[in-house]
Chain A
Amino acid sequence: MNRINKTLQQDNKLLSIYFTAGYPKLIDTVSIIQELEKNGVDMIEIGLPFSDPLADGPTIQESSTQAIENGMTTSLLFEQLKDIRKTVKIPLVIMGYFNPMMQFGMEKFCQKCAEVGIDGLIIPDLPLYVYETEYKSLFEKYGLKNVFLVTPQTSNERITQIDAVSDSFIYMVSSAAVTGSQSGFGNEQMDYFKRISDLNLKNPQIVGFGIKDHETFSQATKHQKGAIIGSAFIKFLSNNPMNTIEKFINSLKFD
């Protein structure tokens, strides 16, 4: 069974962390992953940096720009990850935009993912119909789960469609916003979390965008299986040494 699906069967609410590969320093990728696992993170999204990340706010864009300047490339990322499965057991997902993957070659990209032990992909600008018609069989061939986003504006009909094509979890964008721009969840979001939960989808949902502390983590996981923290972690990495990651993770889990 794919590591993502196994983890989704756990009883606890899942904490997932996003970071940009190659940031703050080019060589940090593996140590960040190991440090996160050591501190009880359930799943990790490794960001493949892109020059023009449309769905992201300034925090993730700046970290991507820095990572590219540091010299991060698609092939270097795979090189860095080549022994990751010797030490890391939790699911690893690559999150990135379509263009760098397309230039690398989609089949080669999937093959490399399988080789190093990546379990799934989140590609915000790969549309559902293009995935279904052109890439689904390729992803399946290499055992990769493709994770789709839904937002408060996504119609129930489309959510049902996305649920049918998905086979791991659905990435629920918390509000109509780019990453890193929200300030706490209000009634509107809580209603949306409940509404999606009431649809009884076959795939569990994990909430992303706007989760930054214990309170927002608890709110996001009231009705959903887990939550993803990205911008808040990048900000933390910008200002704190790696050996204090434990403190950051604990602050999310406990009051």
Chain B
Amino acid sequence: MKTKYNVDENGFYGKFGGAFIPEMLYPNVEELKENYLKIMAEPSFQEECDQLLQQYVGRPTPLYFAKRLSEKYNTKIYLKREDLCHTGAHKVNNTIGQILMAKRLGKTRIIAETGAGQHGVATATVCALMGLECIVYMGEVDIKRQAPNVARMKMLGAEVRPATSGSKTLKDATNEAIRDWINNPVDTFYIIGSVVGPHPYPDMVARFQSVISKEIKTQLLEQEGRENPDYVIACVGGGSNAAGAFYEFLEDESVKLIAVEAAGHGVDSGESAATSVLGKIGIIHGSKTLLMQTEDGQITEPYSISAGLDYPGVGPLHAHLHDSNRAEFIAITDKEAMQSGLEISKMEGIIPAIETAHAFSVLDKKQFKPTDIVVINLSGRGDKDLNTYIDYFGF
């Protein structure tokens, strides 16, 4: 099928994407590229994947009509409850898919990068499930900030290796994971945590996450008698939960897509992660995309109170959705997100991850019609952020 917004046969989304990788990675990435669609189409693969998503992850996750929020904002708000997935966020949809992919390709050693630790935990979880060796690269700075997730990964049997180069955060952890892959080209599979990296990763991860929008369609049909909402709202760091929530609606322009970025202390403050505003086209981790960088092309360190949104790039799909105006991009500050996190907790009894809280702040920024159906992807729960909430509000 010819698509306007999805990936083309060369791995590009418009002018974004591709595989800008050193030759050392070529055989691995090529092997994956040649096989991922074939493997994903195998009935036995789908069966195993579906079964795990159902029995182990707890899918389908509910599409919950948020009555009190809907009353307050005078519109119809549905929450897609990815926070109810095993491990507390949508991340596991992807790691389940990729670990099955790794097994089909005969790989025995798994590596991953992690920022806040959510993807690391989701990877360590599926490695424990499959009995595979797991090494997670994590920035030295993040290891200190996210001690509970480091402990969880260790308990799950993973080895957590500190990334000590560069700024010692997510982008450096990703560099280290890529270097590990270069050093171990035969037995190792790299489970990337977002819709980033060289083709075919952005497409493969988006496909594994697309279960979110598939379920939204079915559930909305049951509850509202129609498959398509008027709006889908999701937060974007690298962009995997947004890719999953948007996926089935990409080509249907009657569904409006809103991608929410982290403005940090404000887009102009110098401490922000709003890549669509502050980024310029460039190459990061093998992908041509929007990227926060100096004039000289050195990648800069983004800032957000939420560790899951402070990636200096954005997936090439989202760069294209931005460039083509298919999605509206809205930047939300730390302060706005924290207030929304508190509001959702008090009004709906759901403590969201701070990443997710950014998506809710859109309700204060945009006016929706009373008849509009607005789906917010509730990508993760806030347990991991309790310390940040406690410090911020002084509970």
Chain B residues with CB under 8 Å of A190's CB are none
Contact residue range for chain A? 35 or more
Contact B293 A148, beta carbon cutoff 8 Å: no
Residue-wise interface mask of A (26-43) relative to B, using a CB-CB cutoff of 8 A (1 in contact, 0 not): 000000000000000000
**Complex Cα gap A9–B116 (Å):** 54
Contact A54 B22, beta carbon cutoff 8 Å: yes
Contact A73 B183, beta carbon cutoff 8 Å: no
Contact residue range for chain B? 35 or more
**Complex Cα gap A58–B175 (Å):** 11
Chain A residues with CB under 8 Å of B33's CB are none
**Complex Cα gap A100–B20 (Å):** 14
The answer, yes or no, to whether B21 is at the interface (CB within 8 Å) is yes
Contact B175 A73, beta carbon cutoff 8 Å: no
Identify the closest chain A residue to B286 (Cβ).
A125
Contact B299 A103, beta carbon cutoff 8 Å: no
Chain A residues with CB under 8 Å of B282's CB are 99, 102-103
Contact A153 B27, beta carbon cutoff 8 Å: yes
The answer, yes or no, to whether A164 is at the interface (CB within 8 Å) is no
The smallest C-beta distance from A67 to any residue of chain B, in angstroms, reads 11
Chain A residues with CB under 8 Å of B295's CB are 103
Tell me what chain B mostly uses at the interface: helix, strand, loop, or mixed.
Answer: mixed
The answer, yes or no, to whether A138 is at the interface (CB within 8 Å) is no
The answer, yes or no, to whether A236 is at the interface (CB within 8 Å) is no
Chain A residues with CB under 8 Å of B183's CB are 176-178, 181
Query: Quick one: which of B185-231 are within 8 Å of A by CB?
Result: 185-186
The smallest C-beta distance from B283 to any residue of chain A, in angstroms, reads 4
The answer, yes or no, to whether A249 is at the interface (CB within 8 Å) is no
Chain B residues with CB under 8 Å of A130's CB are 18, 20
Pick the residue among B24, B166, B280, B293 that contacts A55 (CB under 8 A). Answer: B24
The answer, yes or no, to whether A61 is at the interface (CB within 8 Å) is yes
Chain B residues with CB under 8 Å of A51's CB are 166, 298-299
Residue-wise interface mask of B (10-42) relative to A, using a CB-CB cutoff of 8 A (1 in contact, 0 not): 000000001111111011000000000000000
Chain A residues with CB under 8 Å of B22's CB are 54-55, 124-125, 149
Contact A74 B297, beta carbon cutoff 8 Å: yes
Contact A99 B284, beta carbon cutoff 8 Å: yes
The smallest C-beta distance from B175 to any residue of chain A, in angstroms, reads 6
The answer, yes or no, to whether B63 is at the interface (CB within 8 Å) is no
Contact B298 A100, beta carbon cutoff 8 Å: yes
Contact B26 A154, beta carbon cutoff 8 Å: yes
The answer, yes or no, to whether A12 is at the interface (CB within 8 Å) is no
Chain B residues with CB under 8 Å of A54's CB are 21-22, 175, 178-179, 182, 285-286
Q: List 21 A-B contacts (CB under 8 A).
A: A54-B286, A55-B179, A55-B182, A74-B296, A74-B297, A99-B283, A99-B284, A99-B291, A100-B298, A103-B297, A104-B296, A124-B23, A126-B20, A130-B18, A149-B22, A149-B24, A150-B23, A153-B186, A154-B27, A176-B184, A177-B183
Binding site for B on A (CB under 8 A): 50-52, 54-55, 57-58, 61-62, 65, 68, 73-75, 97-104, 124-127, 130, 148-151, 153-155, 158, 173, 176-178, 181
